Amino acid sequence: MSTLQIGPGHRYLEHYPDTGRRVWYLALAVVATIMLYYESYILPSVSTLVITTFKMNLSQYVLILLGSNLLGAGATLLGSLSDRIGRSNLIVYGLLVTGIGTILVPLTQTLGLFLLVVFVLGFVEGVILIATPALVRDFSPRFGRAMAMGFWTVGPVGGSFLATTVASQTLPIYGNWQSQYVIGGIVGLIIFLLSFLFLRELSPGLRDQIMNTVQEKELVESRASSIDVEGALRHPWRQMLKPRLLISSVGISVFLLMYYAAVGYFPLYLNAIFKFSLAEANGLVSIYWAVNVVAAVLFGFFSDRLHTRKPFMALGGITTIIVTILFISRIGVPTSGPLMVVFLSLFGFSLAVGYVTWLALFTENLEEINPALIATGLAIQGAILRLVVVLSIAGFVVVVVNPLNGSQWATWWWVCAVGAAVFLPTIFTLSGTWRPMSASTAVQIAVPVAPTSEPVAGQD
């Protein structure tokens, strides 16, 4: 299959952009990601109101989340198409579809129609959200990869932050959940227009190479015309279905169990167990997301400067376990807003540090196998993550039957702690150093690599 462009316009860049333009394209990719996650996180931010409107119980609401994620798991695999058809048009027209769909949600008058639109949005978002981290990878040489991925994590984190912040500020004004979807849809269409006009991507010859620093720009450009794009794309699944990638994908997916809980249940949990109002609960959770964003970028920078990922991954995993145990100890104990901010901030720190450095290392491992199949590797990881989300939702339904029962919530938090513990040994499956390296040493051992049609020899 040829590498095509879909839709009007030619979005390929035949020369590697200078720093200013590269940052601009990265920023657009991050903004698009924020928007997609914002639209998908509107439902959790207004969950109690939706449950009341459609006369659902907690189990029924959770099953909606399960169904949406199950569709998203299948859709994620389609995100691998961006290796062939490019990233930018997939993102741009996906934003158009999700923006229109989000505005349509408030027009649904029955639970059936509501579910139909929500599921369609979940499917489309599952496809697009593989293209955005792949695009960020394309524009970020390895020696700045973790910081760039830290900015990409502003997408899921910033999306949830935006959803909870907008809800906390506007729900007291409008008083209904429909308003949140109208606001989200309008903003989504604005971001679509911005991306339609300005979003670009590297040509296949440029993006299908490993680039360690921007100083290699001329070398990468000189080799671009000789890249066998068609050959590199043969047998994509066979090339990327490697044991180390699968094990690592499972590890990070269970590490993020507490993240899934934050997205889906934190406002509900704070409202049910600690009696914060829905607006107050969303406000508290927005602080968690703010800390998460800052920590992701900051520790991505530290990881790049030290040229190592694994110590930060271990720090994130161990800290998450400790904070989860302390979090459990507060159940049944009166907890003020400021103290809850401390706990949520610690979660924001630990999850960000572990995830952003893992994502940088994972994309580097994908490049070692074949830099032309980054989206395919991310699609496999994304599908595994979505399946773990589905299993976690199913488990949550069994464990937390009554949202007012603190002991049931405690059981689920222990499950999250176990997930973080399982993540720790999977750190060893990826190639990468534990010891910080000097910049000179890192440059000497880094060699640009072009793609091959089969896995690089000796990788597995």
In a domain, 223, yes or no: no
184 in Cβ contact with 102 (< 8 Å): yes
In a domain, 361, yes or no: yes
Q: For residue 12, list its beta bridge partners.
A: 201
In a domain, 228, yes or no: no
C-alpha–C-alpha distance, residues 265 and 243, integer Å: 32
- Quick one: which of 398, 410, 380 has its CA closest to 66? 398
Backbone angles phi, psi at 186, to 5 degrees: -65, -45
In a domain, 232, yes or no: no
Token pair 């989000």 is found at 102
Cα dihedral 346, 349, 352, 357 in deg (nearest 10): -130
Q: What is the pLDDT of residue 325?
A: 96
In a domain, 314, yes or no: yes
In a domain, 343, yes or no: yes
Give how far the C-alpha of residue 141 lies from the chain's centroid of Cα atoms, to the nearest Å. Answer: 20
Q: If you average pLDDT over every residue of the chain, what do you get?
A: 87
> How many domains does the structure of the chain reveal?
1
C-alpha–C-alpha distance, residues 291 and 392, integer Å: 24
AA identity, residue 118: V
Q: What is the pLDDT of residue 279?
A: 82
Domain that holds residue 116: 12-210+238-444
Q: Determine the 3-state secondary structure of 431 from DSSP.
A: coil
- Per-residue pLDDT reduced to its tens digit, 92-137: 999 999 999 999 999 988 888 998 898 888 888 888 889 999 999 9
Q: Residues of 208-226 as b/e, b for ≥16 C-beta within 10 angstroms?
A: bbbbbebebbeebbebbee
Q: What is the pLDDT of residue 67?
A: 81
**CB neighbour class for 243 (10 Å; exposed up to 12, middle 13-18, buried from 19):** exposed
Q: For residue 382, what are its two tokens? A: 């994304």
Q: Determine the 3-state secondary structure of 117 from DSSP.
A: helix
C-alpha–C-alpha distance, residues 321 and 325, integer Å: 6
In a domain, 457, yes or no: no
State the pTM of this model: 0.86
Q: What is the pLDDT of residue 14?
A: 87
C-alpha–C-alpha distance, residues 97 and 112, integer Å: 20
Q: What is the CATH number of the domain that holds 325?
A: 1.20.1250.20
Host H or E run for residue 16: none
Q: For residue 202, list its beta bridge partners.
A: 13
From first to last of its 460 residues, what are the pLDDT tens digits of the chain? 344 444 444 788 888 898 899 999 999 999 999 999 899 889 888 888 888 889 888 778 877 877 887 888 888 998 898 898 889 989 999 999 999 999 999 998 888 899 889 888 888 888 888 999 999 999 999 889 999 999 998 888 788 778 888 988 898 888 889 999 999 999 999 999 999 999 999 998 888 888 888 888 888 888 888 878 788 788 899 999 999 999 999 999 999 999 989 877 888 899 999 988 888 888 888 888 889 989 999 999 999 999 899 999 999 999 999 999 999 999 988 889 899 999 999 999 999 999 999 999 999 999 999 999 999 999 999 999 989 988 988 898 899 988 899 999 999 999 999 999 999 999 999 998 898 876 556 555 555 565 654 444 334 4
Q: What is the pLDDT of residue 442?
A: 57
DSSP state, residue 455: P
Roughly what angle, to the nearest 10 degrees, separates helices 145-152 and 278-306?
170
In a domain, 438, yes or no: yes
297 in Cβ contact with 357 (< 8 Å): no
AA identity, residue 270: L
- Quick one: which of 246, 242, 284 has its CA closest to 267? 284
